[in-house]
Structure 1
């Protein structure tokens, strides 16, 4: 499929929209009441710190909604205003935040159903329906299907994600396999890989080292068992018919925009050095290409978290959807520092009996009794790019109430 031509065709269609409908002033009061917080503004203006009784709150310098998330939510709300009577669907969670997605449901925005295998059922979507593509983007197959159905499409894909797609298109033009640093089953990576011809998704530096070791192993020493092991390891994370003996001769680096910046950079450098060792520096440009596709907002929040964990904190709270990749990486930074830290998605995780229900890095939901220490404490707080300030406010108020009854 000529994915670039498909995108050009969509962009020229009167049924396709990448901007709002000029209704920003109409929806502004609703967005402010549902997602913004005067308390958070107060803490920001007070050096990102606030003390009440026994508790000092230290907010990260950068946290919460990024521009791309605000844009996607605003466009979704405008879409409902623009099409008050039409059926409106969304192909996935618009962002990874339960409050925002529940608010869309309350506005009669239906979510395309997904079966146990993760396949979406578009059979109920009909000609004339309006379909919102989320901030993570949608696969080219989904966009093609919706266009063929004659749907009106509101595309809220974050421009940073679109930038990654452009890089992948350049890989394809150079006949390079796209090495995508991401989670193979994440919506954004699924969308990104759909723009590639050949691709391989690596989750972390460990998997990248495995691939690079395979590349550097002399052909005479590679066995069918080695190849079978490779294909099994990446069976769900590679393009159809992927052949590691042929498809790793030319590679380009891309990433899921919410991954850890430092790890993406390490992976890119690792592949660059690997291709240089394999083919020599003189022909490096024929075998390796890389473009900067690290999201500024993700980088800012990670840098702010790295600064916050250097402070004297008694406990760290990371707020964001449990399926939010960028929030999980913020939690990883706290745990790497050895801080007592908890990842929660909403204030209801904080019980009035000083009990907290939180998500561990392995995905398990756990409960910790007496999670707030006695006496005077300092609590560090940050939130993922999909978390409204209103949710952060609710958590801070609950912590104050628990420590200052």
Structure 2
């Protein structure tokens, strides 16, 4: 990181004033803060000034400080601290901020900076010959999982390679920057794993459009169910049933009263105690006859090695391919594939859908071969090795 200072006095304008639209926008921001805390609006006001002028001038800093009744040094501290504020004139079409913090540095941000040096200017904060492009190194831009990345004005461009950054710079220089889609540049879905989703692979359960709609007008409007129509708890019948309030086996009628024709006979306690085990045994037998037989839990069978869908193996060649270059294949999986007679990228690339399903089941991968696209990886490696893999996927195989 370089020391951030204001531009030289020779290029500083003498005065600054918001235009009519931005002046109204600035007042809206100031009103968002309570009385006595208006100085909290300094950051949004500096951003509005930058969007109007293209950079933050000394006159703009002092004008905003006067508006918020704060010392000049306080406003200057804010403007020089945050790299989102440009203190010198920058490229009119693109000012590229390259993240140089550890995650991006480990993922190749130095190579991105070299592209900027070659295509824009050898030094930071200098525009190209036409004044359309400029660049600088900045601290973390907040998308570490998609490193390396850059920011151009308000948009971020992530998962970059030097070649892709060169294409982006060329597009902005030609005035076609709006055609470049922000975000990941390697077809990754936002910040999902590079190998594809590992959870929540089906969005039907969480999307509003595919949720099961409640039945009835009251449920659709979100109205509560009337107490009279609410389902009564099962325990209510147990608590109020007269059959449970007497030692005799008296049946209850539908309205909870005793049947008129049934009376509670006197019972010999000693005979009842002797007969109770026999009654319990009879009840258990009756329940066993009525209860449905529980199906035996069948565990999924591992695919047979003699199955017709097993890929055809081959004798171990003198120099087998390094299958671990395929993302998702580690030393243990490579050993298993060797045991199946799979030694080359070409064999993997030629697997049919049925063969892929067999291997997926044999390895207990639950669809991982399709998610990680082993076939596409193997085809690239078989065609041109690591160089072809980088060309296709924009990164080196692990």
TM-score, normalized by the shorter chain, greater than 0.5: no
Larger radius of gyration: 2
Q: Indicate the structure whose relative CO is greater, using CA pairs within 8 Å and at least 6 residues apart.
A: 1
TM-score by length of 2: 0.18
Higher strand proportion: 1
TM-score by length of 1: 0.18
